[in-house]
Structure 1
Amino acid sequence: MSEADSRTALLVLDVFNTFQFPGGDELFQQAQEAIGKIRLLRERFHAREAPVIFVNDNFDRWQDSFDELVDYVAGSGAPGRTMVEALCPHGSDLKLLKPRHSAFFETALPSLLDHFDVRRIVVTGLAGDSCVLCTVLDAHVRGITPIVPADTTASQTIERTTRALAHLRETFGTETPLSERVDPH
């Protein structure tokens, strides 16, 4: 199958977070601008019936399902509740928990992408210089084309996000357009 015949999926990484860690307040503040852009991009993917996949850290809550984790985050305080209210998955959205930084590491994501004939992923979420970066690198290694809309990711500082996006562009040729320029075909 050629890339032209394959589908594009939207990945939303680690948006459900308690932000209760050193630097969490800063990450939450930086994430505020990305929330609305992620939501609009998700609506465009829904309109095209393209896969939307939430992949979230399990926070060592190994017994929890994805929905139980979202409930836990919503009850953790204002930052977590804000993220859940803004980006809670819809019924058609797919949901995976991950134990580490990359959405590919020890998850069903590779099988899920194969099932939907996905060869291109749009990676959004938190943090740009950690989980987004690791996921994009793993996609690249697997021959999956990653795109990271610059306005849909955040790190603890703007500088950290800027450096991560520059690294992805310079080293791997990753496109980092504004989200309004992303085609969910």
Structure 2
Amino acid sequence: MANTSDDLHGNAPDSAPVALLIIDMINDLEFPEGPDFLAPTLAAADRIARLKQRCKDASIPVVYINDNFGRWRSDFREVLDHCLHDGVRGQPLAERLLPDDDDYSVLKPKHSAFFATTLETLLAYLKAKTLILTGISADACVLFTASDAYVRDFSLYIPSDCVVAGSPVHTEEALAFMKRVLKADITPADEIDLAKLLDES
């Protein structure tokens, strides 16, 4: 009998020891703290976009992780369409980080990208052992995802310039916690040696 983790019913994804996760960056920012997030998140989006291109050049798969914003009948493309065409505060985020056709997407109902989602199964099929986490919010969805990844024995890279919280202090505190407790490497994105990371994972 075939190993179920190798049987994708004709839908074989990429296989790589490293995966890039982009968390909640396709986001309308239409929440009370949204104005505080806009400028720093736009700056992070530019850095994430550069990192994403480097990852794709290195054949590292990219996974967009997104809240469903309570739209239980929607899919990722509907969330993207909402952020691009409904005049929302977060429209420039979506424009900077448009998904490519070969990117993966996972909708999540709660803070962690692992909770009640297909992410763990997808990562098993990809054979990923190391995750690069980017996105918002550093002290909520990124932190909860990192914690769940850590207990699943993934190695973690969380570029310090690719995550944002509601204030710089909260971002720094979250990064310090993830570095100390979750053993995350918080090297800035442009300083990550992807070739070395692939070799070591």
- Could you tell me the TM-score, scaled by structure 1's length? 0.94
Could you say which structure has the greater relative contact order, defined with CA pairs below 8 angstroms and 6 or more residues apart?
Answer: 1
Superposed CA deviations along residues 115-136 of structure 1, whole A, max 9, x for unmatched, are 0110100000011111000000
RMSD (Å) for aligned C-alpha atoms: 1.4
Q: How does 1:1-185 map to 2 (within 5 A)?
A: 7-184=17-194, 185=198
Give the drift of 1:78. 4.9
Residues in 2 aligned to 1:25 and 1:131: alpha-carbon distance in whole angstroms? 18
Secondary structure class of the residue paired with 1:118: coil
For structure 2, list consecutive stretches of 5 or more residues without a partner in the other structure.
1-15
Secondary structure class of the residue paired with 1:121: strand
For structure 1, list consecutive stretches of 5 or more residues without a partner in the other structure.
1-5
Identity of aligned residues (%): 33
Q: Which structure would you say has the larger Rg?
A: 2
Residues in 1 aligned to 2:63 and 2:151: alpha-carbon distance in whole angstroms? 20
Superposed CA deviations along residues 32-52 of structure 1, whole A, max 9, x for unmatched, are 210111001000111011110
Superposed CA deviations along residues 97-156 of structure 1, whole A, max 9, x for unmatched, are 100101111111101111011010000001111100000000001111111000001111
Secondary structure class of the residue paired with 1:97: strand
Confirm or deny: 8 A CA contact 1:30 1:157 kept in the other structure: no
Q: Count how many residue pairs are aligned between Structure 1 and Structure 2.
A: 181
